[in-house]
Structure 1
Amino acid sequence: MLEYNQFNEPLVSVVIPTYNRPEYLKQAIASAIQQTYQNIEIIVSDNCSPENPQPIIESFNDKRIRFWRQQQNIGMLANQMHAFKMAQGKYVASLHDDDMWNEDFLAKLVPPLEENPELILAFCDQYIIDAQSEINHALTEENTQAYKRDKLTQGVYQTFAKIGLVDKSIPTAAACVIRNNIIDWDSIPSEVGGMWDLYLTYLCCISGYGAYYHPERLTRYRTHEQTDTMLSGSKDAQAKIRKAKSEIFCYKIFSQDERLKEFQPYFEQKCLEAHTTLAIGLLRNQQTAAARPYLWQALSQQKFNLRTIAALTISFTPRPLANQLLGISK
């Protein structure tokens, strides 16, 4: 029976959506299999990779792995949500196909949830690793501080909207275990795109349940050139446009939620910043006319923003010079 093992441990669903990362996928699956907490199912949902990863799955010879292959590429979010909806466990944990867990990740995050039914999630800190799986200690420390996990004490946070949505301390996509039955996976709209983890944090924040923080670094988050974060931060115009649209959608919903009224100014400011980001992406994509309305809106609702003013100025600059300023070679 999957639901309980000999130690009466509840089933945890490990969700691994994947696309075209066979070597990393092997490492991710191995880190799930090697968990000291053994009552798990591992759901691998492949988004129609050019090379079918089924041989990789079979090489583990582990009956706890459930494999699904999409017949066509349905997009990152749809594949992720499909995997979540397959989950049968009392708890669910997302593991990116290019990340890894320490072997005691589940062993340390599941017990607090079992001991306190008023908690919806438990999360931890994480290491940052490079493409070769080496820990980058400087970047790890920088990441911990950037998301203010260095300021958090271990234990229960009965309300955690600031931690989750302002400080963004909770890595729901990589270092978090969630009580499965509280989340309606169908309620996550497609417009959230790559910001699905922030939207999931939002659903957890407004659930009325609490969160638990374990300060150890129990997961390994990989940074490399093909992550969406890296792409959107570089000169990839389409990635920047996608991310900005997702941010605008999310922050509009957050700012309109009366339960989060105290954070409304922050959400509105983030929404305006995303307008500028979207405009910059459109400028890089040679869509000047489409970019300007976002810049005017951002400018009209902010007292002074140098980034927005600079982008608006570039939109009226002759194309050859504008391309140079935007770092476009053509």
Structure 2
Amino acid sequence: MTIKTKVSICLPTCDRPELLVRCIESCLMQTHADIEIVIGDDSRDDRTAQLIATRYRDDARIAYRRNVPALGQARNVASLFERASGDKILLIHDDDYLLGHCLERLLAQWERYPDLEVAFGDQYETDHLGHVDHAASQRMNAAYHRTADAAGLQALPGRTGIVQMFPNNGWLADAALVKRIGYEERYGTCCDYVFGTLLCLAAQRVCYVNEYVSCYRMTDVSVSQATRRTINASSISAWHFLKGLTLPRELEPARKLAYRRLVPIVVSLLARNHEARAGLQLALGNLYAYRFGFSARLYYHLLMIWKASRHGRQEPVALLGRKDEQPVDTSRTRMP
């Protein structure tokens, strides 16, 4: 079955040709050969276009397009999904890369479960140069609930997305389902998390493979790193999205588990940005995220909030009650 399956590897890129080569080469070296690499380039200069023309001009597997004007993260990814012609779609960001057996291992799950819709595995964490940090990789996967005892078909597929078990890229899914879910620009830097959550909520069969299949590169130039200490941070967007999500009762524990991770991050961000009242409201309203006061992190954040309250500022922007916040229809960047 895997031999007859065409996979579209969707690769958004922007101003990083020096990292892009490693990513493309990892795609071309897959042990599963029936692929196309669909590239959407939002770069501000011609370096990436020149790279593709020089190095990959004669490779029929690569479908490159320069976006003029640039589309932005979400619309670029959405356009790649639309252009994809394969039976399955895999997303990989330009600063990350795949292990050689990635597609083979993930596609093998469809042989075990013919009605499968989504499969994903573990990610290595690497430094800027691509060197794997094994200890950090184990911690990262464990933090996102990717452990040996969780391997196999997921009893509650939607939970996989809600608690961030589903990775930001390196996953494989049925193309029809991916195209139905799509990427939405309104979620900003949080669009990866929103997509993964909605994809898993829509899927009936999701499989986690307890094996490394891709590499997540830590850089200082990603969208999430550039905004991580600001009000535009992906964690705040994720908080709003998750709070407005309509879920069945059996998935409410997953929402609470996700809050346990998100709440302290959002409280810290609110305090850093002088939103003391909103930060205090969120912390006191979700004390379980701080082990009901048995976490030193709570008192550190309360100190941050106190300092923010003494800082001269304008009226708060009510980040925890935005007028544009709407419930999310579950039928249809990178998180920290």
TM bucket, shorter chain: 0.7 to 0.9
* Equivalent position amino acid for 2:308 in 1: S
* Equivalent position amino acid for 2:267 in 1: T
Report if aligned partners of 2:181, 2:199 keep a CA contact under 8 Å in 1: no
Shift of 1:161: 3.4
What is the CA–CA distance in structure 1 between the aligned matches of 2:60 and 2:244, rounded to whole Å? 41
Q: 1:85 aligns with which of 55, 77, 82?
A: 82
Report if aligned partners of 2:12, 2:94 keep a CA contact under 8 Å in 1: yes
What is the CA–CA distance in structure 2 between the aligned matches of 1:114 and 1:33, rounded to whole Å? 23
What is the CA–CA distance in structure 1 between the aligned matches of 2:265 and 2:135, rounded to whole Å? 28
TM-score where L is the length of structure 1: 0.80
Deviations 1:269-289 (A, max 9, x none): 566546524423533xxxxxx
Q: 1:97 aligns with which of 76, 91, 94?
A: 94
Aligned residue for 2:248?
Answer: 258
Give 5+ residue unaligned stretches, structure 1.
284-290, 320-330
What is the CA–CA distance in structure 1 between the aligned matches of 2:105 and 2:257, rounded to whole Å? 33
Aligned residue for 1:121?
Answer: 118
Shift of 1:308: 4.5
Larger relative contact order (CA 8 Å, sep ≥ 6): 2
* Equivalent position amino acid for 1:57 in 2: I
Aligned-residue CA RMSD in angstroms? 2.8
Matches within 5 A, 1:171-320: 171=167, 173-185=168-180, 188-233=183-228, 237-238=229-230, 241-254=232-245, 256-258=246-248, 260-267=251-258, 272-273=263-264, 275-283=266-274, 291-299=275-283, 301-303=285-287, 305-318=298-311
Deviations 1:27-78 (A, max 9, x none): 1111111112111110110113323412222312211111111112332222
CA change 1:310–1:252 in 2 (3 A) is: same
CA change 1:68–1:185 in 2 (3 A) is: farther
Shift of 1:263: 3.1
TM-score where L is the length of structure 2: 0.79
Give 5+ residue unaligned stretches, structure 2.
288-292, 313-336
> Is the partner of 2:37 in helix, strand or coil?
strand
Identity among equivalent pairs (%): 21
Total equivalences in the alignment: 301
> Is the partner of 2:244 in helix, strand or coil?
helix
CA change 1:30–1:264 in 2 (3 A) is: closer
Does residue 104 of structure 2 align to residue 107 of structure 1? yes
What is the CA–CA distance in structure 2 between the aligned matches of 1:211 and 1:102, rounded to whole Å? 21
What is the CA–CA distance in structure 2 between the aligned matches of 1:158 and 1:315, rounded to whole Å? 43
Aligned residue for 2:30?
Answer: 35
Deviations 1:237-277 (A, max 9, x none): 44x533243112321233x3225234343455566546524
Report if aligned partners of 2:158, 2:200 keep a CA contact under 8 Å in 1: yes
